[in-house]
Amino acid sequence: FAGYISQVLKNYTDHACDGEYVSLRCPHRTTISIQSSFYGRIVPSHQLCPSRYPHSYATLIKEDVACSVGTSLQKMLDECQDRRSCQFLVNSRLFGTDPCPGTGKYLLVWYKCRPNEYKSKVACEDDKLRLSCKKSMVIAIYSAIFGRTQGGSLECPYQNPGMPMIECQSATALQLMIKRCHGKRSCSIYASTYEFGDPCYPGIQKHLNVIYTCDNTPLLLPVDETRPPALSSSSSSSSSMEPVGVSTEMALLSNILAAYAFITENPERAALYFVSGVCIGLVLTLLALVLRVSCRTD
């Protein structure tokens, strides 16, 4: 689960040179959310995506290092936004007009993996924010903002209409929310400067905005983001030769841990089940004794 959450929360960066394939992938039950994109060249070729052909020093001097395409973000949104994975060949024709012919370019993409289903909650400054999930589900924080956004918040309007629309955000809000609520069924925190610090000027009312999802698959394995999953004959044969006793013991251990977790979370219900089981056992024993005595008498 920690590996799955780390993949959902992290910011991914991928790049590909002209003539190479760029491949974006996200874990199960998440989709690609493009944050930013760049296509062109702003550094010399000896630092990133060197030319495939030998260049003289004079040619390198003439290389255009202030070259960019304004349509790269929209193209990435069209190709990859809200998809589980996407892959395409990078070249200048893909982005329209070539801004610097003769100069080798590259594509840089920044993206996140957004859960398919998520919730959003807002708490005004000094109010308590409560997050909760149903039984057998835990909280997975996707984003957290404490401060003031440019558009403001409908739930927490400005108390002083004369204050300018200033954007200010805490740099540690996401880390704090992960620490408080990560992997828990419920949690609560005050939207206060005592918890998050004060990222704004005095007099600016702040709010806490948290986007999260409830996940019930704590055993999801991390996904290799660098290559698509592949099954080889050696891996399949080794997995088929795994001892049966090991899997049986792991299943028994998982059942024991699940039973212990249920008892600790529901002591009254566990006691009721125990007493009911004892009573049923006594009734069955009494019936067996009555049948035995009656059979002997007959």
Residues 103 and 132 in one domain: no
Task: Give the model confidence (pLDDT) of 168-184 as tens digits.
Answer: 888 888 888 888 888 88
Higher pLDDT, 61 or 153: 153
Contact by Cβ (8 Å): 8, 115: yes
Task: Give the model confidence (pLDDT) of 217-263 as tens digits.
Answer: 543 333 333 333 333 333 333 333 333 343 444 455 555 655 655 56
What pLDDT score was predicted for residue 55? 52
Indicate if the pLDDT at residue 293 is higher than 80: yes
Residues 64 and 151 in one domain: no
Residues 2 and 101 in one domain: yes
Mean pLDDT in residue range 13-17: 89
Distance CA 129, CA 207 (A): 10
Residues 99 and 134 in one domain: no
Higher pLDDT, 81 or 297: 81
Residues 196 and 102 in one domain: no
Task: Give the model confidence (pLDDT) of 145-159 as tens digits.
Answer: 898 876 666 677 766
Last residue of a domain, which of 84, 115, 146? 115
Inside any domain, residue 221? no
What pLDDT score was predicted for residue 7? 52
Using alpha carbons, select from 132, 134, 112, 131 the residue that is nearest to residue 122: 131
Inside any domain, residue 172? yes
Residue type, 298: D
Residues 161 and 74 in one domain: no
Residues 125 and 104 in one domain: no
Last residue of a domain, which of 182, 215, 248? 215
What pLDDT score was predicted for residue 189? 92
Higher pLDDT, 27 or 128: 128
Inside any domain, residue 289? no
Residues 71 and 9 in one domain: yes
Mean pLDDT in residue range 198-222: 72
| Apex 246 CA angle, 243 and 247, nearest 5 | 95
What pLDDT score was predicted for residue 244? 38
Inside any domain, residue 207? yes
Higher pLDDT, 230 or 59: 59
Inside any domain, residue 182? yes
Contact by Cβ (8 Å): 62, 148: no
Residues 91 and 66 in one domain: yes
Q: Please give the residue range of the domain that contains residue 193.
A: 119-215
Distance CA 118, CA 213 (A): 4
Q: What are all long-range contacts of 28-31, with beta carbons under 8 Å and residues at least 24 apart?
A: 28/217, 28/220, 28/223, 29/115, 29/116, 29/215, 29/217, 30/84, 30/113, 30/114, 30/115, 30/116, 31/82, 31/83, 31/84, 31/113, 31/114, 31/116
* Total domains, the chain: 2
Inside any domain, residue 262? no
Burial per residue of 93-120, b for 16 or more beta-carbon CB atoms within 10 angstroms, e otherwise: ebbeeebbeebbbbbbbebbbbbeebee
Inside any domain, residue 291? no
Residues 61 and 170 in one domain: no
Mean pLDDT in residue range 54-59: 48
- Band (187; pLDDT cuts 50, 70, 90): very high
Distance CA 55, CA 279 (A): 89
Q: Give me the count of residues in the chain.
A: 298
Last residue of a domain, which of 172, 199, 215? 215
Residues 100 and 206 in one domain: no
Q: What is the CATH number of the domain that holds 41?
A: 2.60.120.740
Mean pLDDT of the chain: 75
Residues 18 and 110 in one domain: yes
Inside any domain, residue 44? yes
Indicate if the pLDDT at residue 215 is higher than 80: no
Task: Give the model confidence (pLDDT) of 32-48 as tens digits.
Answer: 888 889 998 888 878 88
Q: Give pTM, 2 decimals.
A: 0.46
Task: Give the model confidence (pLDDT) of 99-146 as tens digits.
Answer: 888 888 899 998 888 777 778 888 988 899 999 888 888 888 878 889
